[in-house]
Every structure is written in structure tokens, then in C-alpha cells.
């Protein structure tokens, strides 16, 4: 391993490594084992470990639609309230199922409802009102940096808190055609133009930081057709407007005032009544959710789960509960800093030894079955290891940010024993692919017979 780390053009990286034989507890290799590193998405291993310990693999989120009012003939009058639970899967495209808002609207139509008057209230108080943790790049939040980069956390979330912006060219000189999915949920400011070029587009899609307005600038080629995912700024309003649209699609006329429950705090004369539960949407069990987090490195799911087990539904509360779990497990937290659940924060810090300690604890945890099932295997389809470590007996979580690469998990030795490992590379200036290749060579070396 010393030889691998001193060749291949990665010598300028700040390397951290720790390898432990889980059957004997013996340390097989170490390099800067107690130095603090940016873990990137390896942070998700800590998040999912704490979640399984605190909530259990069978935990399910519940999102409820309540009604406080009266129904006369086919008209409902009063307050409809959506009680959020922080469910990341509610209307999510990641764990595909029937859209719960569409299902609710269609069931109301089947019950004979033809009109709804009053207020549609979103209760997002399961979490606090600080959707972003410390240390995130603002570009994650406002630009199309991937479907799950910089997405707001919220006690009431829908469709991954992301709007799909479908763009297609119009005639040269005209603004391109823009269609939103779900529609009618955010405002669009289309300042882009269709150029006369057949190829070559410079369109830029951003969300204005302070509100749910998507802005298009630049130009698209006259052959352009594409989809951009943009995170919304107010997930509660996004969910409520989406439900209004679903009601209209189901043939129900609405005269609903969309209200965030926080806006009623200063108006004691208009509090929502408890109401009657009409429908309840259950999430898949946590075992399936943590599998999405670790196998597909879903940042949004990680942040929602992080706040779910956090005291007060907050990122700081989740950080404290994470540290409590680590201390209870006998893990040194002196050099750790936990600011988020996904690892997007550049203020997260973890040591290679602490990461291996977490892997060691979970290898013998009562939730070990769900834990191991959540980890990608080398070459496994539709995971972050799909194109890496084929035919290598490894289960591990990847991590990547700018100037950061990481891989932590388990490997089988030729004698059948299992080792836990953590490999971190920070602050390198060379090509990222060389660092990734070196990490893969390190893992493969663990599984090679001695010769």
C-alpha cells in the first residue's frame, strides 16, 4: 500500500488510510489515521448508521391529509391540512410508486367532491425552518448541480423538492419553450433566446435564492431539447401548489388559499382545527430508504433522515445526536465535525480510524442485515460502484467533492476474513481519475492472495 500511494501521480494528495481485520481487531495498515479529512459522501455511512440505531430498519414516515370543516352536497368548505413528517419518499421519483397527491385528489373525486373552498395548510413543523446546513456551496442551492445537490430539507416535502424544467427550442430569436413538472408550482422568468445555430447552447437555469422563481438566461440551439432539475426554495408551498394542481387534474374546482402553518402563528384568530384524518401516506421502511442513500448517494434523502433523528428536527440537533451515538459506541469524536447528513458540507471532518470504528460497530449491530444490504457491491448495477471494482469482494460507499475522493467499507481477504477500511484523499491537484484508480488499487490489494 505504501508503494501504491507513492506512485501513479497521486503523491501530492493528503492521504488517510486505515484497515482493520474485524475478526481479530488487528490493524493491518494505517496512514494519518487520526488526522481530520473531508469525507464527502462517506458522511452518509455515519448518517445511516445513526438512523438505523435510533429509528430502526422498520421505521416508516406518515404523511396525513386532514379536514376541518363541513361537506354539503359535493362541496367541501373549511381547512385541508397536510401534516408532514419529513418523509423524503413522498412523491419521490427515486422510489417509484403512485403519486400520493394524485391518489388523494382522485379519491376525493371518487367520493363525489366537486369543489373545495377554504384554506390548504401545510404543516412542516416536524423540522425547524433552517433548510440548509453550514458549509454548503451556494451554487448547490441555486443552480442545476444534479437532481439532489443542494435541495432544501423540509418537514413537508414532495417530489424530492425539485422541479423539472423541460426546455425545447422555438423559432430563432424567440424564447425557448419551457414546461415544468409538476406544473403551476413555481414562477418562470424566461430571458433566454433560441439561436439560429444548429448546435451549441449556453442556456443557464438558476433559481433566485429568495423565492420559487426559476430564471433562464443565455441561448439554446435550434435543435435543443433537454431537462434541467432545479431545487425549490419553499418546499411547503411547492407541495401545496402541487396538490392544488392534482385536485384540478381530478376535476375538482378549488378556491383554496395556500398557507404555510408558520404564517398562522401571528394570527391567533385563525388557527387550524385538528380536523379529521382523511388519508395517510406511509413511506417504505427505513431499510429501503438507507439503501437509496448509500447505494445511489442520494443527498436529499440523507438530509431528511439526518433531521428526522435530530433533536428538534434540526441539523444542529442531528449533529449532537450523531456525536452521542459515536461516544456511546466508544468512538473518539475529538477530531470529528458533523454539520450535515450528506457530506456536501465542506465543514464536515472525520478521521480514517473513526470511520473504520463505525464500520466495526455496525458489522455486529442488531441492524447489521439492513446495514449491509444498503451498501453497494463492486460492479453492482445502478449504484455508485457500477463501473468500479468488478469481481472484487467489496461493499463500500464512495465519496467525491472537488479535491476530495473517499471510499470506505468492507472487503473479503483470500482466507475468508473480513476487513473494514477507509481511504481518504484530500487537497490533490492532479486528475481525479488517478486518485480514484489508486483507491481502487488499494481495495483490490486487500483481496489479492499473497504472492
Average pLDDT over residues 165-193: 89
In this predicted structure, which of 175-189, 290-304, 389-403 has the lowest mean pLDDT?
A: 175-189
Average pLDDT over residues 306-317: 97
- pLDDT score of 119 more than 90: yes
Q: Answer whether 393's CB lies under 8 Å from 445's CB.
A: no
Q: What angle do CA 356, 316, 274 make, to 5 degrees?
A: 125
Q: Answer whether 424's CB lies under 8 Å from 15's CB.
A: yes
In this predicted structure, which of 28-42, 264-278, 374-388 has the lowest mean pLDDT?
A: 264-278
Q: Given pLDDT bands bounded at 50, 70 and 90, which one contains residue 88?
A: very high
Q: What are phi and psi of 65, to 5 degrees?
A: -105, 120
Three state DSSP letters for 209-261? CCCCEEEEECEECCCCEEEEEEECCCHHHHHHHHHHHHHHHCCCEEEEEEEEH
CA-CA distance, 407 to 420, in Å (whole number)? 11
CA-CA distance, 140 to 150, in Å (whole number)? 4
Mean pLDDT of the chain: 92
Owner of C-alpha cell 487537497: 427
Average pLDDT over residues 225-251: 91
Average pLDDT over residues 417-440: 96
Q: Answer whether 426's CB lies under 8 Å from 32's CB.
A: no
CA-CA distance, 254 to 248, in Å (whole number)? 7
For residue 41, count CB atoms less than 10 angstroms from its CB and return exposed for 0-12, middle for 13-18, buried for 19 or more: buried
Q: Given pLDDT bands bounded at 50, 70 and 90, which one contains residue 137?
A: confident
Maximum CA pair distance of the chain? 82
Q: Given pLDDT bands bounded at 50, 70 and 90, which one contains residue 142?
A: low
Chain centre to alpha carbon of residue 128? 17
CA-CA distance, 397 to 37, in Å (whole number)? 16
Between these two residues, 207 and 304, which has the higher pLDDT value?
304
- Short-list 181, 177, 190, CA closest to 162: 181
Q: What is the pLDDT of residue 400?
A: 95
Chain centre to alpha carbon of residue 175? 33
Q: Answer whether 55's CB lies under 8 Å from 38's CB.
A: no
Cβ neighbors of 275 (< 8 A, separation 6 or more) are: 66, 67, 68, 69, 78, 79, 81
Q: At what angle do helices 299-309 and 43-55 cross, to 10 degrees?
A: 40
What whole-number percentage of the chain has pLDDT above 90?
77
Amino acid at each position: 500500500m505504501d508503494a501504491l500511494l507513492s506512485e501513479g501521480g497521486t503523491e501530492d494528495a493528503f492521504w488517510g488510510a486505515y484497515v482493520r481485520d474485524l475478526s481479530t481487531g488487528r490493524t493491518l495498515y494505517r496512514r494519518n489515521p487520526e488526522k481530520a479529512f473531508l469525507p464527502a459522501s462517506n458522511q452518509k455511512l455515519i448518517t445511516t448508521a445513526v438512523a438505523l440505531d435510533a429509528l430502526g430498519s422498520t421505521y416508516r414516515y406518515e404523511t396525513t391529509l386532514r379536514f376541518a370543516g363541513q361537506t354539503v352536497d359535493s362541496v367541501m368548505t373549511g381547512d385541508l391540512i397536510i401534516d408532514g413528517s419529513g418523509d423524503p419518499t413522498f412523491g419521490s421519483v427515486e422510489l417509484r410508486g403512485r403519486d400520493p397527491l394524485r391518489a388523494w385528489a382522485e379519491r376525493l373525486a371518487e367520493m363525489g367532491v366537486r369543489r373545495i373552498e377554504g384554506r390548504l395548510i401545510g404543516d412542516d413543523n416536524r423540522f425547524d425552518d433552517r433548510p440548509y446546513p453550514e458549509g454548503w456551496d451556494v451554487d448547490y442551492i441555486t443552480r442545476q448541480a444534479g437532481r439532489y445537490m443542494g435541495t432544501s430539507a423540509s418537514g413537508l416535502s414532495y417530489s424530492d423538492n425539485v422541479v423539472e424544467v423541460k426546455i425545447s427550442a422555438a423559432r430563432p430569436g424567440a424564447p425557448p419553450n419551457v414546461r415544468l413538472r409538476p406544473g403551476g408550482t413555481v414562477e418562470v422568468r424566461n430571458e433566454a433566446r433560441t439561436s439560429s445555430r444548429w448546435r451549441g447552447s449556453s442556456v443557464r437555469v438558476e433559481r433566485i435564492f429568495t423565492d420559487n422563481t426559476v430564471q433562464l438566461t443565455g441561448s439554446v440551439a435550434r435543435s435543443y431539447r433537454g431537462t434541467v432539475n432545479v431545487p425549490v426554495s419553499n418546499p411547503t408551498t411547492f407541495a401545496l401548489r402541487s396538490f392544488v394542481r392534482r385536485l384540478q387534474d381530478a376535476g375538482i374546482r378549488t378556491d383554496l388559499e395556500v398557507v404555510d402553518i408558520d404564517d398562522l402563528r401571528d394570527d391567533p384568530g385563525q388557527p387550524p382545527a385538528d380536523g379529521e384524518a382523511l388519508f395517510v401516506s406511509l413511506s417504505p421502511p427505513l431499510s429501503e430508504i438507507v439503501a437509496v442513500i448509500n447505494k445511489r448517494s442520494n443527498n436529499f434523502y440523507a438530509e431528511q433522515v439526518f433531521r428526522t433523528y435530530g433533536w428538534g428536527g434540526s441539523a444542529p440537533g442531528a449533529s449532537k445526536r450523531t456525536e452521542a451515538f459515536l461516544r456511546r459506541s466508544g468512538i473518539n469524536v475529538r477530531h470529528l465535525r458533523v454539520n450535515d447528513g450528506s457530506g456536501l458540507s465542506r465543514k464536515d471532518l472525520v478521521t480514517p480510524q473513526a470511520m473504520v470504528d463505525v464500520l466495526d460497530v455496525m458489522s455486529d449491530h442488531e441492524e447489521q442485515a439492513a446495514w449491509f444490504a444498503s451498501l453497494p457491491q463492486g460492479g453492482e448495477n445502478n449504484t455508485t460502484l457500477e463501473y468500479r471494482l468488478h469481481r472484487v469482494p467489496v461493499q463500500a460507499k464512495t465519496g467525491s467533492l472537488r479535491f476530495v475522493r473517499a471510499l470506505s467499507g468492507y472487503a473479503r481477504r483470500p482466507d475468508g476474513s473480513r476487513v473494514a477500511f477507509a481511504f481518504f484523499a484530500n487537497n490533490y491537484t492532479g486528475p481525479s481519475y488517478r486518485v480514484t484508480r489508486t483507491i481502487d488499487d488499494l481495495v483490490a490489494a486487500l483481496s489479492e492472495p499473497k504472492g
